């Protein structure tokens, strides 16, 4: 009997690149994204500087993330070019992701 593959907290962790020295170096120097992650720009308005996050692909299956993706599609359309943009306050986005991680740990 095979082991059922589930999402672990390590799989769905995220990185708020602007908060870490490594993130600043990576985003400025090589722009590489680790395998299994998607770069996302998060912010409410064009005047506000959008913050860059790396989100693991498995996190996008959660209903809360699906709602955020639908908001992005309504705001920017389905044919966004370049990095995915999500129209959400960056601090709120961070709280949502942190909540999802805590929820997963309880299971």
- Domain regions of the chain by residue span: 14-106
Query: pLDDT digits over 26-68, tens only?
Result: 444 456 888 888 999 999 867 778 899 988 888 888 999 999 9
Encode 31-91 in three state secondary structure.
CCCCCCEEEEEECCCCCCCCEEEEEEHHHHHCHHHHHHHHHHHHHHCCCCCCCEEECCCHH
Kindly report whether the global pTM for this prediction surpasses the value 0.75: no
What is the per-residue pLDDT across 10-27, written as a single tens digit (0 to 9) for each?
444 455 544 444 444 444
* CA angle 52–16–12, rounded 5-degree value: 105
Judged against a pLDDT cut of 50, whether residue 71 lies above it is answered with yes
């Amino acid at each position: 009997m095979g082991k059922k593959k589930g999402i672990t907290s390590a799989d769905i962790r995220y990185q708020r690149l602007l908060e870490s020295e490594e993130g600043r170096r990576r985003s400025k120097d090589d722009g590489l994204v680790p395998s299994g992650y998607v770069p996302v720009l998060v912010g409410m308005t064009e005047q506000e500087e959008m913050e860059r996050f790396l989100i693991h692909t498995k996190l996008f299956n959660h209903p809360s993330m699906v709602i955020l993706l639908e908001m992005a599609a309504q705001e920017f359309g389905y044919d966004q070019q370049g990095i995915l943009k999500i129209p959400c306050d960056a601090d709120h986005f961070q709280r949502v992701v942190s909540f999802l991680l805590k929820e997963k740990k309880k299971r």
